[in-house]
Amino acid sequence: MTLYHFVGLGMVLFTIGAAGFFIRNNAVVLLLCIEIMLNAVNLIFASFARFLYGTEGQIFIFIIMTIAAAEAAVGLGIIIALYRSHKTLDMSLIKDLKG
Amino acid sequence: METVIFWILSAFAVAAALAVVFFKRAVNGVMSLLAFMFGMAGLYVLMGAQLVAFFQVIVYVGAVLVLFAFVVMLLNLKEFVRRLTSPADVRAAIPAVLLAVGIAALTWLALQDGAFAKAAVLQPVAGLRQIALDLFTRHLLVFELTSVILFVAAVGAIVISRKEGDRS
């Protein structure tokens, strides 16, 4: 169990989240994929805090968790507003910003 | 022993993350993310970051995922079907694959550097006392700013999700 294991795992999880963000259409699942990516980054921060001694890694994690909570609150508010105005959450059907 | 636990937990986390991406219904995705969060909490415990594991369970499982489950049930999303097979979605997978290859290449290049291997040895765990002292002295401003962000986000979420013209 080395730093490489944890960084590799974080990379795999981040890639799964990013790929899911591209291939899914459901807005709620897109937010879930963002949470996966944030958690992958948290894992890498924690592993660097463990292997390169320092408390900064864990403090970074607390701040990222706070931002993730704020992002979830605002994102779900946007989803509710979107559902109210478009009656769907399928992102391939919502094209208001398409130039 | 630790290595075995690491592989079990990481396989669990990867499987749960894949389940989030490939489940058709949003409710199943939220429940898979729950399993994913617990897997991550186990990995944090394995790394000696017990405090982070506690916060992972309290903040993510206790607050964020409940919020997700609440919204999914509120909107009653039953018409969603995975449309991975339609042409638009196959094309959408191309940037995803490119991104995966790019991240893999970047990580591999970064880890080739010998400086990482020399610096990366298992260090003593930062204790709760150390973290608390650092958080409330050196990083106090950042800590206070996060509370401002949470406040702004809470107000913003209410304003965004409110009905138009609802003044009460």
Q: How confident is the model at residue B12 (pLDDT cuts 50, 70, 90)?
A: very high
Percent of residues, chain A, with pLDDT higher than 70: 97
| Tokens describing residue B145 | 């700013």
Q: What is the ipTM of this complex?
A: 0.90
* pLDDT of B83 strictly over 60: no
Instruction: Give per-residue pLDDT as tens, B101-119.
Output: 888 788 778 777 666 666 6
pLDDT at A8 over 50: yes
Q: Could you give the number of structural domains in chain A?
A: 1
In a domain, A25, yes or no: yes
Would you identify the CATH topology of the domain B1-82?
Four Helix Bundle (Hemerythrin (Met), subunit A) (1.20.120)
Q: Which of B64, B103, B137, B155 to mutate to test the interface with A (most CBs of A within 10 A)?
A: B64
CA distance B35 to chain A (A): 12
pLDDT at B27 over 80: yes
Is residue A37 assigned to a domain?
A: yes
Do residues A20 and A33 lie in contact, with contact meaning Cβ atoms separated by under 8 Å?
yes
- Classify residue A93: in a domain, yes or no: no
Domain extent at residue A29 = 3-86
Please answer yes or no on whether B68 and A28 come within 8 Å at the CB atom: yes
- Mutate which of B1, B77, B97 to test chain A, going by most A C-beta atoms within 10 A? B77
Q: Are B43 and A42 in contact (CB under 8 A)?
A: no
Q: Is the pLDDT of residue B17 over 50?
A: yes
Structure confidence at residue B149 (pLDDT): 93
Question: Could you tell me if residue A92 is inside a domain?
Answer: no
> In this structure, what CATH number is given to the domain that contains residue A57?
1.10.287.3510
In a domain, A82, yes or no: yes
Q: Is the pLDDT of residue B19 over 70?
A: yes
Work out the average pLDDT over A53-72: 88
**How many other β-carbons are positioned within 10 Å of the β-carbon of residue B113?**
9
Confidence of residue A18 (pLDDT cuts 50, 70, 90): confident
Task: Report the 3 state secondary structure along chain B.
Answer: CHHHHHHHHHHHHHHHHHHHHHCCCHHHHHHHHHHHHHHHHHHHHHCCCHHHHHHHHHHHHHHHHHHHHHHHHHHCCCCCCCCCCCHHHHHHHHHHHHHHHHHHHHHHHHHHCHHHHHHCCCCCCCCHHHHHHHHHCCCHHHHHHHHHHHHHHHHHHHHHHCCCCCCC
The domain limits of chain B are 1-82, 84-124, 126-168
Q: Which of residues 88-117 of B touch A (CB under 8 A)?
A: 88-89, 92-93, 95-97, 99-100, 103-104, 107, 111, 116
**pLDDT tens for each residue of B29-79:** 999 999 999 999 999 998 888 888 999 999 888 889 999 998 888 887 665
Interface residue B2 vs chain A (CB under 8 A): yes
Residue A96 lies in a domain: no
Q: Judge: B154–A58 Cβ closer than 8 Å, yes or no.
A: no
B158 vs A88, more confident: B158
Residue B86 has pLDDT above 80, yes or no: no
pLDDT of residue A72: 92
Position B84 pLDDT exceeds 50: no
Region B133-152 average pLDDT:
91
pLDDT band, very low/low/confident/very high, at B120 (cuts 50, 70, 90): low
| Residues 33 through 92 of chain B touching chain A, CB cutoff 8 Å | 33, 36-37, 40, 43-44, 47-49, 51-52, 55-56, 59-60, 63-64, 67-68, 71-72, 74-75, 77, 79-80, 82-84, 88-89, 92
Average pLDDT of the residues in A90-94: 78
pLDDT over 90 percentage in chain A: 32
Q: Average the pLDDT over A11-36 and give the result.
A: 88
Is the residue at A72 inside a domain? Answer: yes
